[in-house]
Each structure stands twice: as C-alpha cells, then as structure tokens.
Amino acid sequence: AQEKFDAIVVGAGPAGSAAAYTMAKAGLSVVLLERGEFPGAKNLFGGVLYRKQLEDILPDKWKKAPVERRIVEQRIWLMGEESAVTLSHRNEAFKEPANCWTALRVKFDQWFADQAVEAGALPIYSTVATELITEGDRVIGVRTDREAGDLYADAVIIADGVNSLLGKSLGIHREWKPDEVSLAVKEVIALPREKIEDRFNLEKDEGVTIEFMGKTSLGMAGLGFLYTNKDTLSLGIGVMVNHLKKKKIKPYEILDQVKKHPMIRRLIEGGEVKEYSGHLIPEGGWNSVPQLSGNGWCITGDAAQLVNFVHREGSNLAMTSGKYAAEAVIEAKKRGDFSRETLSLYDEKIHQSFIRKDLVKYKGMHEFLKEEDPDLLFNRLPQAANQAFYELFLVDGVPKGEKQKKMFQYLKEAAGGTWGLAKLGIKGWRAM
C-alpha cells in the first residue's frame, strides 16, 4: 500500500519551507516537494529579507541565516531623464536587532529548507508536482513527474509560487490577468567589496537599498531596485505585464536603459554581470487573493497573491502564511479532521494578521494604477518634479516667488491643469 503522510508541502520557497519546518517540528510526518535540483536553485527575488517574520518561525536559528548585508539605509528615487529627486532614511537603530537584510535566494532557500529537513521533513527534490489527487472535493495527495510518483497525505500545502500549477488545477485561480502581475528582470553584478562600501557609504556588513521609479520605466508602471550584497549588487526592474504588452518592449531593454541613467551608471561602473534572470511578481492585491483553504488543502505565499507590492514585501508574507497554514494543519491533526471547517483556521489567521490588513489597506492602489495613465504617473509627473526641484536649487537671479510659481506650473502642466493635479492627489491619497 502507498505510504501516507500527514502533509505534503509543494514548493520549497519561503512559504513552503516555513510550513514544512513548522509541521515537522510539531512531530507531523511531512514531505517537502521541490522541482529544483535543490531549493533556491532557480529562485530569485530583489531581495530584501525581513527579520521579524523569520525570527517568529526560527527563534533560535534565524541568526545563522545566510544573508548578505544588514540594511541601514533605504533610498527612494524619483527619476527624471538625467536627474533624480531623492528621499532616504538612514538609522543606526536598524542594526540591532536587524530590521532587514539583503539576501540571495540560492543560498537562503537552501538553508531554510535544510532547517525543515533537520526538523524531520522528508525532502523530495528534482520532482515536479503535476496535479493534485482528489476524491470528490477533497484533496488526498499529489501526482508527480516521477514514475509511480503519487504521494498521499491528509493535507497538502500549496506553496508553488506565482504560476501555481496546483492552484490552477484546483480551479481556485486562473491564469493571472496581465494587470495582476509584474514581470521583473534582475542582474547580479559583481563588484569588489571595498568599491561597494565606498560608493554606498557603508561600513563592514552594512547595506543600502534603492528603489526607483519614474523615467526609468519608460512610461509604464514599474519599480526598479538596486541593492548592495557583500560583493555583488542586485539591479532590477519590474513592470506591469499589461503595459509591457501594450508598448511591446522587452524587459531587458528597460534594464539596459536603466543602466545608462547617470544615477545608476556610476554605482555599477566596472561591475561584471554574473547572473541575469526574470520572474513574475503578484501585484493584484487583496482582490486577487483566491479561496485560501478547502478540504485537505491550504494555499500560501505567491500562489495566493500574498504580496504587498507597495512596500516590496513578499518573502515575509510567504513565510508567515506558510507558518499559519502549518498551524492549521497541526490543529487538524489533533482533531483528526482535515476538512475545510478545521483548515479555515488558516483563513482566520490570515484575516487577523498584518497580511490581510496591509493588503486591504492598499486595495485601491491596484485600481489606481489600472485606471490612471501610466505615462502621467511614471513619466510626466516624475519629470515635472525633477524640473521643479532643479528650479528650486538653481541660483539664476530669478526671484524666489517666481520660481515657486514655476515649480507649481511644471506639475500642473504635467497633470493637465490644477483640477487634474488635485484629482490625482486625492485619488493617490485614497489609494494609500
């Protein structure tokens, strides 16, 4: 007879490993299924990793996580053609305890999955889950691409990322619409440690994040990032897929453009591109989150659209959702009941947490970006803001009162008049 487990976790990203670890530690028999040769082999993110949620899962071990640099400064750049309006915050208080770090998924995912395996989860890697095995409306296992590769369990935790084959096979979500996902491309650029520390004003393991928007996304809704690792930089940009389709621009063409911007060019100069990759980011917000659990299953992380794209938080929502799903399965095991009734404990935990609260808070942002002209938001306004600040700082004998009028004029013209600007301000404020 087929061996049956308490739970199968599909996908060893942050969501899956958090779930597998939590259940294995509680003594459940758990399989951790991953299509990659090892967890993280092909995974990528920006990547900023947050301490709080990792510590909640691994209170004794989080300090050993393989991270790159602890972030002491976060910069936001509004890009003009050859300029930027910048805002940043640096604080020694971000060091102890660390608020967040940069990380590379190829190292982190492997380590995180190892914690689950050490706690007792059975790793099955290089194996693709092809569909869920069901009995009526109940999920009872997972079919894999291995010969005689059917696996059975009381519960399946779906953590297979943004494309979620299993979510689709279950019928709880469909192919994401092009306005619900961004396509991001990223390069890892090698640069000597000392150069990174000099250029970014850093000591030892300190790190900086830069997020940029504006001219760099070529009139499409997009966000770029430049993060410092130990001896590499992560440079990338994500753009809404519907805008990419409309403009017929290839993502690498945008990144090439980004690299030429004077604010970026100087920071990456002399670096050697080590890696290039692309990935989707779920950006549908709360309205795109599917049913979270059912008879014998829970869906977590990117597979359930649990990403706060306004704050570039995804890995922490993934980990926390994996932990909550695991706790629901642990309770189901205690009750001997893996039906939706018990597993909806997972939904409740999500609903009571920062995950739902944050995603609901920014629910309007998705609509705002969908409705507003991307050229206005990501091209004309940032350019106007740059002109306005140029005007402000330029000493050319023009009286300051006139300058202020001019600054306002730039913004007004970009938005098509005072009323247009006011309307946009109100809508933007509401969306936040």
State the residues that interact with ligand FAD by CB under 6 A: 10-16, 33-36, 39, 43-48, 128-129, 159-161, 165, 184, 186, 236, 238, 279, 281, 301-303, 307, 312-316, 318
**C-beta closer to ligand FAD: residue 315 or 342:** 315
Cβ proximity to ligand FAD: between 16 and 123 the closer is 16
CB of 168 to ligand FAD, least distance (A): 10
Report CA 302 to chain centroid distance, whole Å: 8
Query: Which residues 6+ apart lie within 8 Å of 306 measured at CB?
Result: 282, 289, 300, 314, 317, 318, 321, 350, 355, 359
CB of 18 to ligand FAD, least distance (A): 8
- Least distance from ligand FAD to the Cβ atom of residue 362, Å: 15
**Whole-number minimum distance, CB 419 to ligand FAD, in Å?**
37
| Alpha carbons 18 and 121: distance in angstroms, whole number | 11
Give least dist CB 422 to ligand FAD, A.
Answer: 33
Write out the two tokens for 53.
């949620």
CA angle 233, 237, 240 (to 5 degrees): 160
- Of 48 and 407, the one with the shorter C-beta distance to ligand FAD is 48
Nearer to ligand FAD by Cβ, of 34 and 391: the residue is 34
Q: Minimal distance in Å, beta carbon 281 to ligand FAD?
A: 5
Helices (H), 61-148: 105-118
Residue 36 beta carbon to ligand FAD: minimum distance, rounded to whole angstroms:
5
How far apart, in whole angstroms, are the C-alpha atoms of residue 8 and residue 10? Answer: 6
Is the backbone peptide bond immediately before 36 cis, with ω within 30 degrees of 0?
Answer: no
Distances in whole angstroms, Cα of residue 114 to Cα of each of 40, 75, 121, 148: 11, 33, 9, 26
Residues 6+ apart with CB under 8 A from 149: 127, 143
**For ligand FAD, the closer CB: 229 or 387:** 229
Helix, strand, coil abundance in the chain, percent, nearest 5: 45, 25, 30
User: Which segments of 37-148 does DSSP mark as H helices, in order?
Assistant: 51-57, 105-118
Antiparallel, parallel or unpaired: β 206-214 and 70-79: parallel
| Closest CB 414 distance from ligand FAD, rounded Å | 29
The SS3 of residue 141 is strand
Q: Write out the DSSP string of 257-282.
A: HHHHSHHHHHHHTT-EEEEEEEEEEE
Choose between 184 and 221: whose C-beta lies nearer to ligand FAD: 184
Which tokens is 171 given?
A: 């019928």
**Closer residue to ligand FAD, CB minimum distance, 160 or 391:** 160
Q: Which two tokens stand for residue 55?
A: 């510590």
Nearest residue to 157 via CA among 251, 45, 267, 18: 18
| Least Å from the CB of residue 388 to ligand FAD | 30
Minimum CB distance to ligand FAD smaller for 132 or for 415: 132
Nearest distance from residue 112's CB to ligand FAD, in Å? 10
Give the Cβ contact number of residue 246 at 10 Å: 12
Contacts of 411 (CB under 8 A, 6+ apart): 381, 384, 385, 388, 421
- Output 43 or 379, the one with its CB closest to ligand FAD: 43
Identify which of residues 222 and 236 has a Cβ nearer to ligand FAD in the complex. Answer: 236
Sign of CA dihedral 241, 244, 248, 250: negative
Neighbours of 272 (CB within 10 A): 10
What is the nearest approach in angstroms of ligand FAD to the Cβ of residue 45? Answer: 3
**24/48 with CB nearer ligand FAD:** 48
